[in-house]
C-alpha cells in the first residue's frame, strides 16, 4: 500500500511541477503583454477605452492569481509526497494525508473558479468589441451573451464537484462548458469579422482604399486570434479528457502542460489581438477610417 501511495503522490507531484513550469513561463510572458496592452490603450483615443483598460487590469490580476495558486498547489503536492515517506503511525499519517489532500482540493477548486472567471472576462471583452463594431446593437450580441452566461454557469457549477466531491457524483461534465466557450467564440468571431468585411466592402465601393486596407488587416488579425483561441480551448478539453484518468506517460504529461497553460493562454490570446489591433490601426475606435475596429 505504501508503494501505491508513493507512486500516486510522485506522479501527481511531477504533473504539478510540469503545470507550474509552463504557468511560470507563460505568466511572465503575459505580464509583459498585459502591461504593453495597458500602455497602448492608455495612449489611444478609443471609444470605451476605460472598459478595455479595466478588462486588461482584471485579466492581469486573475493571471497572476492563477500563477500564485499553481505554485502553492505544487508545494502542497510536494508536501504530500514527503509525508508518504515519513515513518508515522497510521492515525497521524491518515490525519496528515487527509488535511493536505483537503487543502489541495480547495486550492484546485479556487484555481478552476479563477479560470472560469478569466474566460468570462476574456469572452466578455470580445463581446464588447463586437457590440462596438455593430454600432452598439444589443440585439446582435444577445445570443452570444446568452451562450457566455451558460458557459460561465456550467464552469462554476462543475468546479465544486470536480474538486470537492466524489468524482462519481458529477452532474455535468466540465468539458461541456468549454464546448460552449468554443461555440461562443466562433459566433463572436463570425459576427465581428462579418461586420468588418461588410464595412470594408462599402469603403471599396466609394473608393476609400486607404481605409479599406485597415479593415482587411483587422479581419486577418481577428480570424487568427479566433482560430488560436479555439485551438487553445480544444487543447483544454483534451487535457480534461485525459488529465483525470491518465496517471503516467505522454498523455498525462500533455494533459498537465495543457491545463497548466490554460490559465495564462485564456488571457494571452485576446491580449495579443488587442496589441496587434492597436498597431494596425493608429486610433482604434475613432471615427476616421478605424471606426469600431476594436
Residue 33 placed within a domain: yes
**How crowded is residue 138: how many other Cβ atoms within 10 Å of its Cβ?**
9
Residue 245 placed within a domain: yes
Residues 6 or more apart in contact with residue 218 via CB below 8 angstroms? 196, 277, 280, 281, 293
Q: How far apart are CA 24 and CA 21, in angstroms?
A: 5
**How crowded is residue 249: how many other Cβ atoms within 10 Å of its Cβ?**
10
Contact 23, 70 (CB under 8 A): yes
Alpha helices in the chain, H assignment, sequence order: 2-42, 49-84, 90-133, 142-164, 174-205, 209-243, 250-280
Residue 156 placed within a domain: yes
State the residue range of the domain holding 136.
2-280
Q: Residue 83: how many CA atoms within 13 Å on its side-chain side?
A: 22
Residue 100 placed within a domain: yes
Residue 7 placed within a domain: yes
Indicate the number of domains in the chain: 1
**How crowded is residue 187: how many other Cβ atoms within 10 Å of its Cβ?**
17
Write out pLDDT tens, residues 75-108. Answer: 888 888 877 766 555 666 667 777 888 888 888 8
pTM comes to 0.81
- pLDDT (tens, 9 = 90+) of the chain, 294 residues, equals 555 666 777 777 888 888 888 888 998 999 999 999 888 888 877 677 888 889 999 999 999 998 899 899 888 888 888 777 665 556 666 677 778 888 888 888 898 889 889 989 988 988 888 888 888 888 888 998 999 999 899 888 887 777 766 555 555 677 788 888 889 988 988 888 888 888 777 766 666 566 667 777 777 778 887 888 888 788 778 776 765 555 556 666 777 777 777 778 888 888 888 887 777 654 434 444 444 444
Q: What is the DSSP string of 214-247?
A: HHHHHHHHHHHHHHHHHHHHHHHHHHHHHHTT--
Q: How far apart are CA 205 and CA 38, in angstroms?
A: 36
Contact 264, 251 (CB under 8 A): no
**How crowded is residue 45: how many other Cβ atoms within 10 Å of its Cβ?**
10
Q: How far apart are CA 43 and CA 35, in angstroms?
A: 13
- Write phi, then psi, for 136 (nearest 5 degrees): 60, 40
Q: What is residue 264's predicted lDDT score, i.e. its pLDDT?
A: 84
Residue 179 placed within a domain: yes
The radius of gyration computed from the CA coordinates of the chain, to the nearest angstrom, equals 22
Residue 148 placed within a domain: yes
Q: What is residue 145's predicted lDDT score, i.e. its pLDDT?
A: 92
Residue 286 placed within a domain: no
Q: What is the DSSP string of 172-201?
A: S-HHHHHHHHHHHHHHHHHHHHHHHHHHHH
Q: How far apart are CA 238 and CA 287, in angstroms?
A: 43
Q: How far apart are CA 63 and CA 71, in angstroms?
A: 13
- Name the region of 73 (left: φ>0; alpha: ψ -120 to 50; beta: rest): alpha
Crossing angle (nearest 10°) for helices 250-280 and 90-133: 30
Looking up residue 244, the CATH number of its domain turns out to be 1.20.1070
Amino acid at each position: 500500500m505504501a508503494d501505491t501511495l508513493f507512486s500516486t503522490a510522485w506522479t501527481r507531484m511531477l504533473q504539478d511541477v510540469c503545470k507550474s513550469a509552463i504557468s511560470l513561463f507563460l505568466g511572465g510572458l503575459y505580464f509583459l503583454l498585459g502591461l504593453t496592452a495597458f500602455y497602448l490603450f492608455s495612449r489611444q483615443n478609443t471609444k470605451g477605452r476605460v472598459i478595455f483598460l479595466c478588462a486588461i487590469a482584471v485579466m492581469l490580476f486573475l493571471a497572476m492569481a492563477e500563477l500564485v495558486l499553481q505554485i502553492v498547489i505544487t508545494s502542497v503536492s510536494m508536501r504530500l509526497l514527503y509525508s508518504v515517506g515519513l515513518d508515522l503511525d497510521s492515525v497521524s499519517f491518515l490525519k496528515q494525508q487527509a488535511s493536505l489532500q483537503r487543502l489541495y482540493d480547495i486550492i484546485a477548486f479556487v484555481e478552476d473558479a479563477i479560470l472560469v472567471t478569466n474566460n468570462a472576462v476574456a469572452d466578455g471583452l470580445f463581446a464588447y468589441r463586437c457590440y462596438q463594431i455593430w454600432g452598439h446593437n444589443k440585439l446582435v450580441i444577445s445570443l452570444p451573451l446568452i451562450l457566455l452566461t451558460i458557459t460561465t454557469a456550467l464552469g462554476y457549477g462543475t468546479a465544486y464537484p470536480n474538486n470537492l466531491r466524489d468524482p462519481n457524483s458529477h452532474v455535468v461534465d466540465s468539458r461541456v462548458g468549454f464546448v460552449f466557450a468554443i461555440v461562443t467564440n466562433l459566433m463572436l468571431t463570425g459576427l465581428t469579422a462579418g461586420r468588418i468585411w461588410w464595412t470594408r466592402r462599402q469603403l471599396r465601393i466609394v473608393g476609400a482604399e486607404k481605409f479599406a486596407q485597415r479593415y482587411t488587416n483587422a479581419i486577418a488579425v481577428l480570424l487568427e486570434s479566433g482560430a488560436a483561441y479555439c485551438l487553445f480551448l480544444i487543447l483544454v478539453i483534451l487535457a480534461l479528457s485525459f488529465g483525470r484518468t491518465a496517471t503516467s506517460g505522454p498523455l498525462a504529461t500533455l494533459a498537465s502542460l495543457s491545463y497548466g497553460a490554460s490559465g495564462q493562454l485564456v488571457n494571452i490570446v485576446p491580449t495579443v489581438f488587442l496589441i496587434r489591433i492597436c498597431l494596425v490601426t493608429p486610433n482604434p475606435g475613432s471615427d476616421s477610417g478605424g471606426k469600431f475596429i476594436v
